[in-house]
Amino acid sequence: MLKELITPQNANVFVGKLGDILYKAVDQPLGMAINWGRMWSLWPVHIETACCSVEFGAASSPRYDVERFGIIEAFGSLRQCDLVVVQGTITRKMAPRLRLVYDQMPEPKYVIAMGACAITGGLYFDSYNVLPGIDGILPVDVYVPGCPPRPETLIQGCMLLQEKIKRMKAR
C-alpha cells in the first residue's frame, strides 16, 4: 500500500529540482566547450573535380592560411574527418561514391558546396550526366559561390560554418 502512494514524481521534490539545476549548470558550459572544440578543429575531406581545387590549395597556402581558422589540412582517414568540401562538377556516376564518402564519416558531419558547379551544375547544367547541385544527395550546410571562388570567399564560408556549429546544441 505504501508503494502505491510513493511514486517517482512525488517521492522527493528536491531530487527533481536538483537534477534540473545540475543539468542546466553542466549542460550549457559543457555544450559550449564541445562546440568550441568542433568549431576550431574541422578536418576536411576534399572532393576535387575541377578548378575550385586550385583555389582551395591557394587558401591552404601561407598567404591565406586556413589553419588559423581551425581547418586542419592533414587527415588520416574518412573516419576522422567531419567536413566534406565538394569542389567542382559532380556527375551521376560519381554521386553514389560521394554519398559513400559522406556516410563513412562520423557524426556530426558538415558539408560545404564550393563553386558554381557543385551548387548548380555550373557551365554544364544542361548536360545529361551532371547533377544540378549536390544538395539532392547531401545536406549542404554552407554554399560558397563563385567560378572559381576566391580563397577569401572560402574562408568566409568556413567562418559561416563555424558560426553555425557555435549555435548548434551539442549532443
Q: Give the residue extent of every domain in the chain.
A: 38-167
Q: What is the pLDDT of residue 149?
A: 87
Q: What band does 16 get if pLDDT is binned at 50, 70 and 90?
A: low
The residue type of 62 is: P
CATH number of the domain at 38-167, please? 3.40.50.12280
70 CB contacts (<8 Å, ≥6 apart)?
39, 40, 41, 42, 158, 162
Q: What band does 2 get if pLDDT is binned at 50, 70 and 90?
A: very low
DSSP 3-state percent helix, strand, coil across the chain (nearest 5): 50, 15, 40
pLDDT digits (tens, 9 = 90+) for 77-130: 778 888 888 888 888 899 999 899 899 888 888 999 988 888 888 887 778 888
Report the C-alpha gap between 148 and 52 in whole angstroms: 5
pLDDT digits (tens, 9 = 90+) for 22-48: 566 666 777 777 778 777 778 888 777
Q: What band does 143 get if pLDDT is binned at 50, 70 and 90?
A: very high
pLDDT digits (tens, 9 = 90+) for 150-164: 888 888 898 899 889
